[in-house]
Amino acid sequence: MTSSARVMVVEDAEAIRLAVLSGLGSAGYVARGVPDGTGFEQELNTFQPDLVVLDLMLPGRDGFALLDVVRGRSDAGVIVLTARDGVSDRLHGLQAGADDYVVKPFELSELTARVGAVLRRLRRTPSTLQIGSLIIDVDKGLVLRDGRPVELTRTELRLLGHLALHRGQVLSKTQLLTSVWGYDAYDPNLVEVHVSALRRKLESSGERVLHTVRGLGYVLDGPR
Protein backbone atom coordinates (compact mmCIF):
# COMPACT_ATOMS: atom_id res chain seq x y z
CA MET A 1 0.00 0.00 0.00
CA THR A 2 1.87 3.09 -1.21
CA SER A 3 0.62 6.63 -1.48
CA SER A 4 0.67 8.37 -4.84
CA ALA A 5 -1.88 10.98 -3.80
CA ARG A 6 -1.29 14.44 -5.27
CA VAL A 7 -1.16 17.39 -2.87
CA MET A 8 -1.06 21.05 -3.89
CA VAL A 9 0.43 23.49 -1.38
CA VAL A 10 -0.69 27.13 -1.72
CA GLU A 11 1.48 29.23 0.59
CA ASP A 12 3.12 32.61 -0.08
CA ALA A 13 5.88 32.23 2.54
CA GLU A 14 8.61 30.44 0.61
CA ALA A 15 10.31 28.88 3.64
CA ILE A 16 7.05 27.33 4.84
CA ARG A 17 6.05 26.23 1.34
CA LEU A 18 9.38 24.50 0.68
CA ALA A 19 9.40 22.82 4.09
CA VAL A 20 5.89 21.46 3.59
CA LEU A 21 6.73 20.23 0.08
CA SER A 22 9.82 18.47 1.40
CA GLY A 23 7.87 16.80 4.21
CA LEU A 24 5.08 15.65 1.91
CA GLY A 25 7.58 14.36 -0.62
CA SER A 26 9.36 12.38 2.10
CA ALA A 27 5.97 10.95 3.10
CA GLY A 28 5.50 9.63 -0.44
CA TYR A 29 3.05 12.19 -1.81
CA VAL A 30 3.35 13.89 -5.17
CA ALA A 31 3.43 17.54 -4.11
CA ARG A 32 3.36 20.81 -6.03
CA GLY A 33 3.67 24.30 -4.55
CA VAL A 34 2.23 27.61 -5.71
CA PRO A 35 2.84 30.97 -3.99
CA ASP A 36 -0.54 32.65 -4.55
CA GLY A 37 -3.76 32.58 -6.54
CA THR A 38 -2.23 33.64 -9.86
CA GLY A 39 -3.22 31.04 -12.44
CA PHE A 40 -4.74 28.90 -9.70
CA GLU A 41 -7.52 27.51 -11.87
CA GLN A 42 -5.02 26.36 -14.49
CA GLU A 43 -2.82 24.71 -11.85
CA LEU A 44 -5.88 22.99 -10.40
CA ASN A 45 -6.91 21.63 -13.80
CA THR A 46 -3.40 20.59 -14.80
CA PHE A 47 -2.23 18.99 -11.54
CA GLN A 48 -5.63 17.62 -10.47
CA PRO A 49 -4.75 17.32 -6.78
CA ASP A 50 -6.40 14.91 -4.39
CA LEU A 51 -5.92 17.45 -1.62
CA VAL A 52 -5.05 21.15 -1.35
CA VAL A 53 -3.15 22.61 1.60
CA LEU A 54 -4.30 26.22 1.49
CA ASP A 55 -3.03 29.26 3.36
CA LEU A 56 -5.89 31.64 4.07
CA MET A 57 -3.82 34.85 4.26
CA LEU A 58 -2.56 35.20 0.69
CA PRO A 59 -1.72 38.32 -1.30
CA GLY A 60 -4.29 39.21 -3.93
CA ARG A 61 -6.99 36.54 -3.91
CA ASP A 62 -7.26 35.24 -0.36
CA GLY A 63 -7.61 31.63 0.64
CA PHE A 64 -11.39 31.79 1.00
CA ALA A 65 -11.72 32.84 -2.65
CA LEU A 66 -9.48 29.96 -3.70
CA LEU A 67 -11.43 27.56 -1.48
CA ASP A 68 -14.55 28.51 -3.44
CA VAL A 69 -12.67 27.72 -6.66
CA VAL A 70 -11.65 24.28 -5.38
CA ARG A 71 -15.17 23.45 -4.27
CA GLY A 72 -16.62 24.62 -7.61
CA ARG A 73 -14.17 22.85 -9.88
CA SER A 74 -12.76 19.84 -8.00
CA ASP A 75 -13.55 17.11 -5.49
CA ALA A 76 -10.17 17.57 -3.79
CA GLY A 77 -9.95 17.66 -0.03
CA VAL A 78 -8.83 20.94 1.56
CA ILE A 79 -6.77 21.63 4.67
CA VAL A 80 -6.54 25.33 5.48
CA LEU A 81 -3.54 26.92 7.16
CA THR A 82 -4.33 29.89 9.35
CA ALA A 83 -2.52 32.11 11.84
CA ARG A 84 -5.87 32.85 13.47
CA ASP A 85 -6.78 30.34 16.16
CA GLY A 86 -10.09 31.81 17.29
CA VAL A 87 -13.17 29.57 17.23
CA SER A 88 -14.98 31.89 14.80
CA ASP A 89 -12.05 31.79 12.37
CA ARG A 90 -11.89 27.99 12.45
CA LEU A 91 -15.65 27.70 12.00
CA HIS A 92 -15.52 30.12 9.07
CA GLY A 93 -12.98 27.92 7.30
CA LEU A 94 -14.87 24.70 7.98
CA GLN A 95 -18.23 26.19 7.02
CA ALA A 96 -16.68 27.46 3.78
CA GLY A 97 -15.94 23.86 2.84
CA ALA A 98 -12.54 22.98 4.33
CA ASP A 99 -12.06 19.39 5.54
CA ASP A 100 -9.62 20.36 8.29
CA TYR A 101 -7.52 23.27 9.50
CA VAL A 102 -4.02 23.64 10.95
CA VAL A 103 -3.03 26.67 13.01
CA LYS A 104 0.35 28.33 12.43
CA PRO A 105 2.96 27.76 13.69
CA PHE A 106 2.61 24.01 13.24
CA GLU A 107 4.70 20.85 13.39
CA LEU A 108 5.38 19.33 10.00
CA SER A 109 4.62 15.86 11.37
CA GLU A 110 1.16 17.02 12.47
CA LEU A 111 0.35 18.49 9.06
CA THR A 112 1.52 15.32 7.30
CA ALA A 113 -0.62 13.21 9.63
CA ARG A 114 -3.66 15.38 8.96
CA VAL A 115 -3.10 15.13 5.20
CA GLY A 116 -3.14 11.36 5.50
CA ALA A 117 -6.23 11.41 7.71
CA VAL A 118 -8.22 13.60 5.29
CA LEU A 119 -7.19 11.47 2.32
CA ARG A 120 -8.29 8.33 4.14
CA ARG A 121 -11.64 9.90 5.01
CA LEU A 122 -12.03 10.69 1.33
CA ARG A 123 -10.99 7.09 0.58
CA ARG A 124 -8.03 8.23 -1.53
CA THR A 125 -5.71 6.02 0.53
CA PRO A 126 -6.65 2.71 2.23
CA SER A 127 -6.49 2.50 6.02
CA THR A 128 -6.09 -1.26 6.54
CA LEU A 129 -3.10 -3.37 5.55
CA GLN A 130 -2.53 -7.09 5.98
CA ILE A 131 0.83 -8.84 5.69
CA GLY A 132 0.45 -12.50 6.50
CA SER A 133 -0.92 -12.70 10.05
CA LEU A 134 -0.17 -9.01 10.70
CA ILE A 135 -3.12 -6.60 10.37
CA ILE A 136 -2.68 -2.84 10.69
CA ASP A 137 -5.65 -0.47 10.82
CA VAL A 138 -4.15 3.01 10.55
CA ASP A 139 -7.38 4.91 11.26
CA LYS A 140 -8.24 2.93 14.41
CA GLY A 141 -4.65 2.65 15.62
CA LEU A 142 -5.16 -1.11 15.86
CA VAL A 143 -2.43 -3.69 15.26
CA LEU A 144 -3.09 -7.46 15.38
CA ARG A 145 -0.67 -10.37 15.03
CA ASP A 146 -2.20 -13.84 14.77
CA GLY A 147 -5.48 -12.26 15.90
CA ARG A 148 -3.98 -10.85 19.10
CA PRO A 149 -3.53 -7.12 19.78
CA VAL A 150 0.02 -5.76 19.72
CA GLU A 151 0.55 -3.04 22.30
CA LEU A 152 2.52 -0.14 20.81
CA THR A 153 3.53 3.28 22.08
CA ARG A 154 2.18 6.33 20.24
CA THR A 155 5.52 6.85 18.50
CA GLU A 156 5.77 3.19 17.50
CA LEU A 157 2.25 3.37 16.10
CA ARG A 158 3.07 6.50 14.06
CA LEU A 159 6.22 4.84 12.76
CA LEU A 160 4.39 1.64 11.82
CA GLY A 161 1.56 3.59 10.21
CA HIS A 162 4.01 5.51 8.03
CA LEU A 163 5.83 2.33 7.00
CA ALA A 164 2.47 0.71 6.27
CA LEU A 165 1.41 3.55 3.99
CA HIS A 166 4.60 2.88 2.03
CA ARG A 167 4.60 -0.91 2.06
CA GLY A 168 7.37 -2.28 -0.13
CA GLN A 169 9.14 1.08 -0.32
CA VAL A 170 12.53 1.48 1.37
CA LEU A 171 12.48 4.55 3.63
CA SER A 172 15.69 6.14 4.83
CA LYS A 173 16.31 7.26 8.40
CA THR A 174 16.11 10.87 7.26
CA GLN A 175 12.72 10.29 5.62
CA LEU A 176 11.41 8.64 8.77
CA LEU A 177 12.77 11.39 11.02
CA THR A 178 11.10 14.04 8.87
CA SER A 179 7.74 12.33 8.53
CA VAL A 180 7.33 10.65 11.92
CA TRP A 181 9.20 12.98 14.28
CA GLY A 182 9.19 16.17 12.19
CA TYR A 183 12.98 16.55 12.15
CA ASP A 184 15.50 16.05 9.35
CA ALA A 185 18.62 16.93 11.36
CA TYR A 186 18.30 14.71 14.41
CA ASP A 187 20.09 11.69 15.83
CA PRO A 188 19.42 8.79 13.41
CA ASN A 189 19.91 6.41 16.34
CA LEU A 190 16.42 7.48 17.39
CA VAL A 191 15.04 5.64 14.36
CA GLU A 192 17.16 2.55 15.05
CA VAL A 193 15.97 2.33 18.66
CA HIS A 194 12.29 2.57 17.71
CA VAL A 195 12.61 0.20 14.76
CA SER A 196 14.26 -2.38 17.02
CA ALA A 197 11.51 -2.05 19.63
CA LEU A 198 8.82 -2.25 16.97
CA ARG A 199 10.42 -5.28 15.38
CA ARG A 200 10.55 -7.14 18.71
CA LYS A 201 6.84 -6.56 19.29
CA LEU A 202 5.73 -7.41 15.76
CA GLU A 203 7.89 -10.46 15.26
CA SER A 204 7.80 -12.12 18.67
CA SER A 205 5.34 -14.69 17.36
CA GLY A 206 5.62 -14.52 13.60
CA GLU A 207 7.74 -14.10 10.51
CA ARG A 208 9.86 -11.02 9.92
CA VAL A 209 7.98 -8.20 8.20
CA LEU A 210 10.15 -5.18 9.05
CA HIS A 211 13.36 -5.46 7.06
CA THR A 212 16.62 -3.52 7.13
CA VAL A 213 18.10 -2.71 3.73
CA ARG A 214 21.75 -2.09 4.51
CA GLY A 215 22.87 1.43 3.69
CA LEU A 216 19.40 2.50 2.56
CA GLY A 217 16.85 2.21 5.34
CA TYR A 218 13.83 0.12 6.32
CA VAL A 219 10.90 -1.46 4.54
CA LEU A 220 7.68 -3.09 5.73
CA ASP A 221 6.89 -6.09 3.56
CA GLY A 222 6.31 -9.84 3.59
CA PRO A 223 8.95 -12.47 4.50
CA ARG A 224 12.16 -12.36 2.44
Contact 102, 118 (CB under 8 A): no
User: What's the chain's average pLDDT?
Assistant: 84
Question: How far from the centroid of its chain's Cα atoms is residue 97's Cα?
Answer: 20
Is the pLDDT score of 195 beyond 90?
yes
Is the pLDDT score of 12 beyond 70?
yes
Contact 101, 82 (CB under 8 A): yes
**For 42-47, what is the mean pLDDT?**
91
Q: What percentage of the chain reaches a pLDDT higher than 90?
A: 29
Confidence of residue 1 (pLDDT cuts 50, 70, 90): very low
Which pLDDT belongs to residue 2? 39
Tens-digit pLDDT profile for residues 207-222: 788 999 998 999 998 7
Q: Which residues pair with 217 in a beta bridge?
A: 213
**For 145-152, what is the mean pLDDT?**
89
Which pLDDT belongs to residue 112? 87
**For 7-34, what is the mean pLDDT?**
92
- pTM flag (> 0.75): no
Burial of residue 14 (CB within 10 Å: 0-12, 13-18, 19+) is exposed
Tens-digit pLDDT profile for residues 78-95: 999 988 766 666 666 677
The H-or-E segment that residue 160 falls in is: helix 154-165
